[in-house]
Structure formats: C-alpha cells, structure tokens
Structure 1
Amino acid sequence: MAALRGFEACARYLNFSQAALELHVTQSAISHQIRQLEELLETELFARTAGAMMLTQAGVELLPIVRRFLKDFSALATRFDRDVQGPVSIELFVHDSFANTWLIPRLSAFYAKHPGIRILLNTEDFSRFDNASGQAAIRLEAREASWPGLYSEFILAERIFPVCSPALVQRLGSPETAADVLDFPVILRARSMANGEQISTPSWDYWLQKHGLTRSSLNCALVVPHSNMAVSAAIRGLGVAMARTSHISDELHTGALQKLLDEEMDSDTGYHFLCSPGRQNSPEIRAILDWLKSECGDQSPVGA
C-alpha cells in the first residue's frame, strides 16, 4: 500500500521530494518504495533524464489501475470505519466569514437530514487544499475560476448592496440614488498580508464602478479586515457596509440592518465547491454538495 501511494504521488508531481512532503516520509523512503515496485513488476516506472522525470509506458499503464484501487480501497475502509465508529467526519475548508454568517446557521438542518455525517470546519489557510489527501472546500473566487486537478462546481452567486443601521438612516435620511450613498460614512475592508502589503477587497470598488462613481468620493469612517467586522460595525451605527448575500441573513430579517437602496447588484464572484476528482461521487461528499446546492437555491434569510 505504501509503495502504491508513493507511486501515485510521484506520478502526480513527477518529483520525489514533493511526493515525500505530501506523504510525510523521507525522499529516500519514496525512492525505496518505487524501487520495490519496479523490482516486483520487473520494469521501470519512471524515466530519469537530464534532471527531469517522466512516466515510462509501463508507468502510464499502471497509474489508472493504482488510482482506481486506492479510491475503491479508501471507500471500503470508510464504510468499515463508519460501521465501527458511527458517524463519518468530513473536513471542510471554508472562509471564516462564510462559515460564521452563512454555513453555521444552516448546519442544524443538514444534521437533521444526515445524522450519519459530521462536518469538521477548517478555516486555516484553506488555499492549500490542492491535493488528493484533502476532502472538500468552499472557495470564493471569480465565477470563471478553475482548479486543475480538482473537481469544482459553482454553487452560489454573490450579490452586493450597501447596508447600515436604521438609526443612521433616521439621522441622515434615506438616499434616493447611488450617489446619495456617498453622503454617508463608509466602512471599508482591507487586510495586511504577511509581507506588509495592503490588499483592498473589491466590493465597494465594483459597486462604485458600476454606478459611474469614484472611490475618492467615499467618506471613509472605518477600515476593517473582515466582512463580519464590517457588518458588526454597521449594526452599531458606525457607517455603511457593502454587504454580500451570503453574509446578511438574520440582520435584515430582524431589522438590525437595512438596505440603503432596493437593488442588489450581481458581482463577478461566487462560491465554488471543491474536492478531489471522484470524491464528488462518494455518499458523504455527494450528500454535502447536494445539500449546499439546495440551500444556495434559497436566498431567503435564515429563520424567515
């Protein structure tokens, strides 16, 4: 089994070092595994020339067989584990703000429908979800985004609109046009990268551009790094936040926030569901994906 897993990883990366890193073993251990497999089959699986590595014809023929075996073995082991251990746990990589404002408020409905599945939320640097050892992820990217080597499905389109507290509207009045929104104090979102670079989020820029307005016209009252902070600040009357449909549910329903304009503007981003190729057909992943698509089809506020 170790040799087969080592071969599959080497075939994916065409690099022993990267394969060893993924499997948490040494490079010499990977080399030994491949050598054992080649001795067993009495043929070379990799050609090594001029510092580059590629699959031989034997390796090309073996790869789909190994991948199918590993997939079937994993599915069988998961079923055995479920029979012994009870509920199956699926690790789901997701944005922190999306988890807090959209996913967690809906999870009780998922558990009621699928009591045999438990979700382990992981919000730590999910951008590393890029190999077959991962389970599933929900990523916010442009609608046309793609992830080579992963199964991806677009599940939720984002719409954006400015929101603030009713008290702020009472004090400043209701805007009639998009330009009138510029009379309000605005809450912007930006975050610092590890290298110190400031990255601005595109929501306000996108909204301004679509309305033919300029960023210099904004009356910035506060800058925060995350969407949930912007929403919290807006509830407390500090200014207007640019909200996304996935981040505003109970706040609009309870009246803690209100839209400044009736319109909701389509954005060029949305949420994609990702998993390793073939995993979308496993019972647990399919249950999660189908439930997500069902929930994403209903944009009404939670509890409405």
Structure 2
Amino acid sequence: MTALRGFEACARYLNFSQAALELHITQSAISHQIKQLEEIMGAQFFDRSSGAMTLTKAGAELLPTVRTFLKDINALAGRFERDAQGQSMVELFVHDSFANTWLIPRLPRFYAAHPNIRIQLNTDEFSRFDNPSAQAAIRLGEESAAWPGLFSEFILPERIFPVCSPALIARLGLPGSVAEVLKYPIILRWRSLQNGEMVSTPSWDYWLQKNDLSSLPFECVLTVPHSNMAVSAAIRGLGVAMARTSHLSDELDTGSLQKLVTEEMNCGTGYHFLCSPGKESTPEIRRILEWFRSESLQLTGR
C-alpha cells in the first residue's frame, strides 16, 4: 500500500522530491519504495534517462489501476468507519449548478433531521448504479422523461421568471407590462457543446416565445456559461437574469433578488430522482427521497 501511494504521487508530480513532500517522507524513502515496487512487479515504471522523469509504458498502464484501487480502498475504509459510528453514506450524483445553487444551501435542514446520514456529492456526467453502496442521482429532463431500468420519480418541476436586484428596480422602475422587461439590460446564459459551438440555452428563448416577444430587440450586457453566474451577476445589479426555481435558494426571501413579473412560467421540465430498482425502499434512500419531496412542496407552494 505504501509503495502504491508513493507510485501514484510520483506519477502525478513526475518528481520524487515533490511526491516525498506530499507524503511527509524523505526523497530517499520514496525512491526505495519505487525500486521495491518495480522489483516486485518486474517492470520499470519511470524513465529518468533524459533528465526529466517520465512514465514508461508499463507505468502508464499501471497508473489507472492503482488510482482506482486506492480510491476504492479509501471509500471502503470510510464506510467501515461510518458503520462503526452508526452513520450511513449515500453517493448522490447531481449537476454542479444544481448542487451549488439549490441543494447545498438546503442540506443543513436535511442533516438536522437526519444526523446519521451523510451525503457524498458527485458531479460526474453519468450516474453509475453498478456497485453495492447506496447510490442515487438527480437528473434534469422533461417531466414525462423515461429512465429505463431505473426507479424514477419526478420531484421538482422547473419554472422560470426574470429577476434582478432591487437597486436596478430602484433605478429603472418596475415594468408596466411583460414586454417592458426587454427595456432592461439582459444577462444571457450560453453553453458550449463538445464540438466548440456555443448554443444559447432555452430559458430566455422559451420565455420570449411564450410571451410573443421573440421579434423585439433587447440589450444584452453579459453572457455567462452557467445559471449560477447569471444569478450572481443579477444580484450585483448588472442586469436581468432568467431565473429557474432550481437555481435559487433564498435570494427572493432575503430580498437580494426581486421578480420583475409575478408570474412564474412552467417549462415542462424539472428534476427526477433516480436509483437502482428496489433501492428506493432502503432506509437511507427513502429518507433522502422524502426530504426532496418535502423541499419541493415548500418551493412549489410559495
């Protein structure tokens, strides 16, 4: 184990001194670990002939296996420790923006109600349900979306509405009609596809289309890649952002943001709770799902 940790650190830094510093051992000790590992495995993992240390082909093949092994060992040790303390851990896959702007601000209420359950957030793009530990995911999709082979429940409908800072309203006044929203400076969000093409997200487009305003001009003062950036810019008075109920925590309650129009528009999309079939009945997953239902009811009932 010690030699494998030393190998992983050396492969990450490609420098024995930096790896030794991270592991709080001497450079001589980590050099001995690597030599011992190479003798046991019968292969050379680092090439030092050119002056700069590089991974050999064998080292590059070994590295992902070692990293997976160390990650799994750490996770298993953590579970053993939590079991001894009477705690349960649930790995929850979420979009990073949803986690930052909706879930994390509300987690203190969950922990207050369930002190023996801990959540490990994972923002990997795809959920994995192939290990024995309790896992679940929150995924965005149309309300009628199907998730074959998984238990799914639609837990949080999304609605959109334009918001801005009270200071901007104090300066420009409230709009007299929905169309007058476009007289304010607008903050747009875009996302980048894997091929590098930038595509406007549908929130403003959808809102304009549903209000028959698509043909009217407006002033775009800022474009951002993430919804939480748009909300942050709106709080600071830069302009009007198209808010989504899933990307606000308490900004409306505290007054840092204010709706420009009172109506919230239903998008027909929202968040689904997913897990392997049958796991929705396990105590930890059931309590998390019930908590999401409760939070959703509070939000939709506001």
Using the size of structure 2 for normalisation, the TM-score is 0.69
- Structure-2 residue corresponding to 1:115: 115
Once the two structures are superposed, residues 215-261 of structure 1 have per-residue CA deviations (whole angstroms, 9 ceiling, x without a partner) of 66232111101111001100111110000112223211121111101
Q: Distance in 1 between matches of 2:162 and 2:262?
A: 10
Check the 8 A contact 1:249/1:300 in 2, yes or no. no
Check the 8 A contact 1:156/1:270 in 2, yes or no. yes
Q: Distance in 2 between matches of 1:117 and 1:183?
A: 48
User: Which secondary structure does the structure 2 equivalent of 1:90 belong to?
Assistant: strand
- Structure-2 residue corresponding to 1:225: 225
Once the two structures are superposed, residues 15-51 of structure 1 have per-residue CA deviations (whole angstroms, 9 ceiling, x without a partner) of xxxxxxxxx99xxxxxxxxxxxxxxxxxxxxxxxxxx
Query: Identity, % of aligned pairs?
Result: 66
Measure how far apart 1:81 and its partner are: 7.9
Check the 8 A contact 2:95/2:138 in 1, yes or no. yes
User: Which secondary structure does the structure 2 equivalent of 1:271 belong to?
Assistant: strand
Q: Aligned-pair RMSD on alpha carbons?
A: 2.4
Once the two structures are superposed, residues 153-188 of structure 1 have per-residue CA deviations (whole angstroms, 9 ceiling, x without a partner) of 000111111001112112222102111001111111
User: Which secondary structure does the structure 2 equivalent of 1:246 belong to?
Assistant: helix
Once the two structures are superposed, residues 248-277 of structure 1 have per-residue CA deviations (whole angstroms, 9 ceiling, x without a partner) of 232111211111011111111111000111
Q: Distance in 2 between matches of 1:137 and 1:274?
A: 5
- Structure-1 residue corresponding to 2:296: 296
Structure 1 segments, 4+ long, off by >4 Å, are 79-83
- Structure-1 residue corresponding to 2:185: 185
Structure 1 residues 297, 108: closer, same or farther in 2, change over 3 A? same
Q: Distance in 2 between matches of 1:259 and 1:244?
A: 12
Check the 8 A contact 1:176/1:261 in 2, yes or no. no
Structure 1 residues 116, 206: closer, same or farther in 2, change over 3 A? same
Deviates more, 1:270-279 or 1:196-205: 196-205
Q: Distance in 1 between matches of 2:185 and 2:201?
A: 18
Measure how far apart 1:130 and its partner are: 5.0
Alignment of 1:56-67 (within 5 A): none
Q: Distance in 2 between matches of 1:231 and 1:239?
A: 10
Matched length: 225
Check the 8 A contact 1:184/1:240 in 2, yes or no. yes
Check the 8 A contact 1:166/1:256 in 2, yes or no. yes
- Please list every run of 5 or more consecutive structure 2 residues that lacks an aligned counterpart in the other structure: 1-63, 66-78
- Please list every run of 5 or more consecutive structure 1 residues that lacks an aligned counterpart in the other structure: 1-23, 26-78
Q: What amino acid does structure 1 have at the position aligned with 2:268?
A: D
- Structure-2 residue corresponding to 1:149: 149
- Structure-1 residue corresponding to 2:255: 255
User: Which secondary structure does the structure 2 equivalent of 1:262 belong to?
Assistant: coil
